[in-house]
Amino acid sequence: MAFLEVKNLEAYYGKAQALKGVSFSVEKGECIGIVGPNGAGKSTLLDSIIGLTHWRGQITFDGVDLHGLPPRKIIKLGIGYAPERGNLFPFMNVKDNLLVGAYLAREKIGENFRAVFEMLSLLDERQKQQAGTLSGGERQMLSLGRAWMSDPRLLLLDEPTLGLAPIIISKIAVTIEDLKNRGATIIIAEQNVSFTAAHAERLYLLERGTLTMGGTPEELKGEEYVRKTYFGI
Ligand SMILES: Nc1ncnc2c1ncn2[C@@H]1O[C@H](COP(=O)(O)OP(=O)(O)OP(=O)(O)O)[C@@H](O)[C@H]1O
Ligand SMILES: [Mg+2]
């Protein structure tokens, strides 16, 4: 069984179905990308893995069935989430936001602080700054750092490049490579297909709640439809 197994996942908001029979798996140490347009269901997919939606089907993480588990328990199992737009605590400073991420991994706080400050030195310099006064890119970094503080065995990143300038995107790119070198298993949900293709070993296309295609970035680039629609070439 794979590290993360998702089978026939269906998620609903009231009567509206946001995910329709989504199946895929992630092996330990892999970085995979879920790419697709606005409203495709990318955030819903990550929200479902962390226990924030009503879903049917099967999700198992390291052999544990996640159905019905509250987010707190899922995070405790070792899944870290950097949600879209961060969801930080705006009136708390950078350091305290990181500490919130650490509350389920208290024994490794020192080690994880060191790792986060090494990867994202800006957070080290801004420890005392209120999160609400950070720029968009700085918030994105804080969100990533906070997810890492929970000492995750699987890291979910939702739109890590959303609205960021190219120079900040390259900073996030370096951090993702850094996380991979530290053995992280990562799922990136992104609209930015070129960015995701540069880091993920495998990509899945999510369109209107359905995974329509999957493969290595090269395989997907080999498909004319994907090249035209997502790579603009
Ligand atoms: N809380 C909610 N209540 C009702 N409908 C929702 C809710 N959240 C998402 N949806 C709907 O579910 C569908 C999938 O949304 P989702 O946010 O997962 O897409 P996405 O791929 O993350 O899009 P984006 O790239 O814009 O972030 C959309 O049609 C959206 O309108
Ligand atoms: Mg989204």
* CA geometry: angle 90, 104, 51, nearest 5 deg: 80
User: Per DSSP, which regions of 129-230 are E strands?
Assistant: 154-158, 185-190, 202-207, 210-215
In sequence order, which residues have a C-beta less than 8 Å from that of residue 37 and are 6 or more positions away? 191, 207
Q: In what order do the strands lie in the sheet with 79-82?
A: 79-82, 154-158, 185-190, 31-35, 202-207, 210-215
- Asked if residue 83 has its Cβ within 6 Å of ligand 1, the reply is no
Query: 7 pairs with which residues across the strands?
Result: 58
* CA geometry: angle 72, 78, 79, nearest 5 deg: 75
Q: Out of 17, 19, 34, 38, give the residue to mutate to test ligand 1, the one with the largest number of ligand atoms within 8 Å of its CB.
A: 38
Which atom from ligand 1 is nearest to the alpha carbon of 47?
A: 18
pLDDT in tens, 38-57: 999 999 999 999 999 999 99
- Asked if residue 40 has its Cβ within 6 Å of ligand 1, the reply is yes
163 confidence band (pLDDT: 50, 70, 90): confident
The reported pTM is: 0.94
Q: With contact defined as beta carbons under 8 Å apart, do 104 and 49 qualify?
A: no
Atom 9 of ligand 1, residue of closest alpha carbon: 44
pLDDT of residue 86 exceeding 80, the answer is no
Q: Which ligand is nearest to the CA of 35?
A: 1
Q: Report the CATH number at residue 154.
A: 3.40.50.300
In sequence order, which residues have a C-beta less than 8 Å from that of residue 173 and are 6 or more positions away? 195, 198, 199
Average pLDDT over residues 150-170: 91
Q: Is 130 exposed, middle or buried (0-12, 13-18, 19+ CB in 10 A)?
A: middle
Q: With contact defined as beta carbons under 8 Å apart, do 16 and 10 qualify?
A: no
pLDDT of residue 101 exceeding 80, the answer is yes
Q: What is the pLDDT of residue 208?
A: 96
Q: 3-state class of 150 per DSSP?
A: coil
Split into its structural domains, the chain has a count of: 1
Atom 1 of ligand 1, residue of closest alpha carbon: 13
Atom 16 of ligand 1, residue of closest alpha carbon: 41
pLDDT in tens, 64-77: 999 999 999 999 99
**What H or E segment, with its residue span, contains residue 229?**
helix 224-230
- Asked if residue 18 has its Cβ within 6 Å of ligand 1, the reply is yes
pLDDT of residue 85 exceeding 80, the answer is no
Task: Write out the residue range of the structural domain in which residue 136 sits.
Answer: 4-230
Q: What is the pLDDT of residue 104?
A: 80
Determine the distance separating the centroid of ligand 2 and the alpha carbon of 18, expressed in angstroms.
12
Q: Out of 17, 42, 52, 190, give the residue to mutate to test ligand 1, the one with the largest number of ligand atoms within 8 Å of its CB.
A: 42
188 confidence band (pLDDT: 50, 70, 90): very high
- Asked if residue 53 has its Cβ within 6 Å of ligand 1, the reply is no
Q: With contact defined as beta carbons under 8 Å apart, do 83 and 143 qualify?
A: yes
Residue that has been written with the tokens 């493969």 in this structure:
215
Which two three-digit tokens encode residue 193?
A: 């297909």
Determine the distance separating the centroid of ligand 1 and the alpha carbon of 106, expressed in angstroms.
33
C-alpha separations of 195 from 61, 75, 112 in Å:
26, 26, 26
Q: What is the pLDDT of residue 87?
A: 84
Q: What is the pLDDT of residue 89?
A: 93
Q: Is 127 exposed, middle or buried (0-12, 13-18, 19+ CB in 10 A)?
A: middle
